[in-house]
A = this chain, B = another copy of it.
């Protein structure tokens, strides 16, 4: 079981596409909804599965653990839950790399206060010792929210990711002129050809598509795409001229985004910058590649679904019961948030921004 758990932990992200979450909705093979589906498919059908069996590991248990249906529910929660090993790992690593101490947390005390406990039905459940560990878990939750708020959902990060997605949306856009479609494929790795034709990749194509594949295609488009919109997007991305966020200030979203789109259309029509492609100003579909909308959402956790709590004297209880007993919120930081942002092409962002600010004043 230990081997199965370790294997499951190591393999749980196998199904990620190139550039993971950013291109996940675009590059996943048909029939897969998320990268988790893809992970399972790779384990069950791919070479990796047979290799895992070869080392004497029970692949069925690995799959059950990853699906969250294994009889040892505590281990399932530890693989995918509010205090799972994946989050332990990426938060700590990203906080160190980003140089933000507020993304770090006390892993030692958290681990020390977690154990497996047989519940009344003799099922192993994840158990947290409240007195020693709740404070560490609370810090962990805060760290996670801080990382999303300040790092993962930082405007620059999201803007770059959104632009990358826009490149591939354009490269596979069924509505662009036919002549651009065949051109987009040329000189790019074969494994993304079917995707560029508007289809979902096969599992084999998916496996052949890595970050290098994606970058090779963008580099090609940057230099010689016939489609001016695709070329513009690729250039902006590779030359680090990222789309700029336009803050809506006191305006409501509808008003602001309509105005920004109108202004962008004008600016494109007048070719306000030499860098801009000459496109058909009346083509609203094209316009959408110059004003990118980005949505992101953070769901705080503190429900501890499936975790039991050891409060010292009595039998382990659920978090809801612990809170009810205490008569107050025990874990702070349960603050969800979401961000909806407008990113505008760098060559026109500043004029659009000025116009919006003018309009806001009126």
Chain A residues packing against B (C-beta within 8 Å): 96, 100-102, 104-109, 132, 135-136, 138-139, 142-143, 146, 149-150, 189, 211-213, 215-216, 219, 249, 313, 328-329, 332-333, 335
Residues of B with C-beta under 8 A to A329: 335
A357, closest chain B residue (CB):
B313
Q: CB < 8 Å: which of B108, B139, B150 contacts A142? A: B139
In the complex, what distance in Å separates the CA atom of A208 from the CA atom of B333?
47
CB distance from A322 to the nearest CB of B (A): 15
A136 touches B102 (CB 8 A): yes
Residues of B with C-beta under 8 A to A149: 135
Q: Which 10 A-B pairs have the closest CB atoms?
A: A101-B106, A332-B332, A102-B106, A212-B215, A102-B139, A135-B146, A216-B216, A212-B212, A332-B333, A102-B136
CB distance from A88 to the nearest CB of B (A): 13
CB distance from A98 to the nearest CB of B (A): 11
CB distance from A327 to the nearest CB of B (A): 12
A105 touches B106 (CB 8 A): no
CB distance from A93 to the nearest CB of B (A): 10
Residues of B with C-beta under 8 A to A104: 101, 104, 106
CB distance from A62 to the nearest CB of B (A): 22
Q: A135, A212, A213: which has the most chain B beta carbons within 10 Å? A: A135
CB distance from A260 to the nearest CB of B (A): 18
A334, closest chain B residue (CB):
B332
Residues of B with C-beta under 8 A to A109: 100-102
Residues of B with C-beta under 8 A to A211: 212
A101, closest chain B residue (CB):
B106
In the complex, what distance in Å separates the CA atom of A306 from the CA atom of B141?
29
CB distance from A274 to the nearest CB of B (A): 17
Residues of B with C-beta under 8 A to A219: 189, 212
Residues of B with C-beta under 8 A to A213: 216
Q: A100, A102, A105, A335: which has the most chain B beta carbons within 10 Å? A: A102
| CB pairs A–B below 8 angstroms (8 shown) | A101-B107, A101-B109, A102-B135, A102-B136, A139-B139, A329-B335, A332-B335, A333-B333
